[in-house]
Amino acid sequence: MVKTKVLFVINQKAGQQSNLKIHEIIIKHAIKYDYEVDFYEMGTNHHALEIKKSIDLFKPDIVGAVGGDGTVNLVSGIIQKTNISLLIIPYGSANGMAKELQIPENLPACLDLIIKGKTIEIDLLKVNEEISIHLADVGLNASIVKRFQLDKKRGLLTYGKHLFAEIFIIKRKRFTIFYDDQTKKVSAVSLTFANATMYGTGAVINPDGKLNDGLFEICIVKPFPKYLVFNIAYQMFRNKLKTSKYFEVIKCTKAKVICKRRTLLQVDGEVLGKVKEIELTCLPKVLKVIILANLNHPTIVN
């Protein structure tokens, strides 16, 4: 009988455990359940091409992304449109996609998905020349992500610190959105281009989003009085943002966004710099992902 082959792409900067400990847990699990493993260690200067070479050489059935949303994004872009399945192992400072899919937070439980999980196909979002599995945006959150990247500390408290620093200097930005033969001019503090529904904090920005419906959402947060910031945050964490008059959603398969002024863009937690134009295209059901078999996933169309 041919054994299942799993390549683990490990972000050396992610997580609390040493890579040696991660390897030890994985190898013990592989011996117990009789599957083959190989490892690719992401250094400071990792390249998609090198990971692809490892995949071509080992020919895995599954690639495990051990890290945060950036690692998941990188692996997804490489294995999209193949028969290789993605296994998400949340070990980063931001694990939004793992939270989205209710992936377990501990390594042994994640590894059990190799044996007991089920595989689904989900959409990806093309953002200019980049791939997004989770969320991309311009405006408020992109500025927070940039601050977060420059900070040596990680975690929700650090994210919260930068959120409140940005809230009080936030500026409205003007955008023109072209979609489905329509044109919409908006003033907003944030535009989120959403394949998924929530940030790694659990705050929901895209209440009705589905990961495999062939659509993505442009979530518009309109300028709001600063004294309402806690109210807006409460609505996001309670999944009630769509009741706010400061929020609007556009569903589409393809769109183009023109920024009046060059604006900071982030994709899945990675800041890409300032842009003037953003081309957006949904790539339907191009990625296989392993998830828990016994849960109802509200963001998956059955």
If you average pLDDT over residues 256-281, what whole number do you get?
93
Q: How far apart are CA 82 and CA 134, in angstroms?
A: 19
For residues 174-212, b (16+ Cβ closer than 10 Å) or e, as one string? ebebbbeeeeeebebbbbbbbbbbbbbbebbbbbebbbb
Q: How far apart are CA 279 and CA 194, in angstroms?
A: 13
Span of 163-167, 178-182, 188-192, 266-270 with lowest mean pLDDT:
163-167
Give yes or no for residue 162 having a pLDDT over 50.
no
Q: How far apart are CA 246 and CA 9, in angstroms?
A: 40
Instruction: Supply 70's token pair.
Output: 């950036």
Q: How far apart are CA 88 and CA 68, in angstroms?
A: 9
CA distances from 272 to 72, 97, 112, 278 (A): 17, 19, 35, 12
Q: How far apart are CA 112 and CA 14, in angstroms?
A: 21
Q: Does domain 5-116 have CATH number 2.40.50.140?
A: no
Q: What percent of the chain has pLDDT over 90?
A: 66
- E runs forming strands in 173-269: 173-179, 182-188, 190-194, 216-221, 247-252, 254-267
Instruction: Supply 81's token pair.
Output: 């449109």
Q: What is the CATH number of domain 130-284?
A: 2.60.200.40
Nearest CA to 196 out of 113, 94, 48, 83 is that of: 94
Instruction: Supply 296's token pair.
Output: 């109802």
Q: How far apart are CA 86 and CA 64, in angstroms?
A: 6
Task: Using DSSP bridges, classify how beta strands 182-188 and 190-194 pair: parallel, antiparallel or unpaired.
Answer: unpaired
Tens-place pLDDT, residues 97-137: 999 999 999 999 999 999 999 999 999 999 999 999 999 99
Q: Break the chain into its structural domains and give their ranges.
A: 5-116, 130-284
- E runs forming strands in the chain: 5-11, 36-42, 62-67, 85-90, 118-127, 130-132, 135-139, 173-179, 182-188, 190-194, 216-221, 247-252, 254-267, 270-291
pTM: 0.89
Tens-place pLDDT, residues 213-222: 999 999 999 9
CA distances from 17 to 25, 234, 287 (A): 11, 33, 28
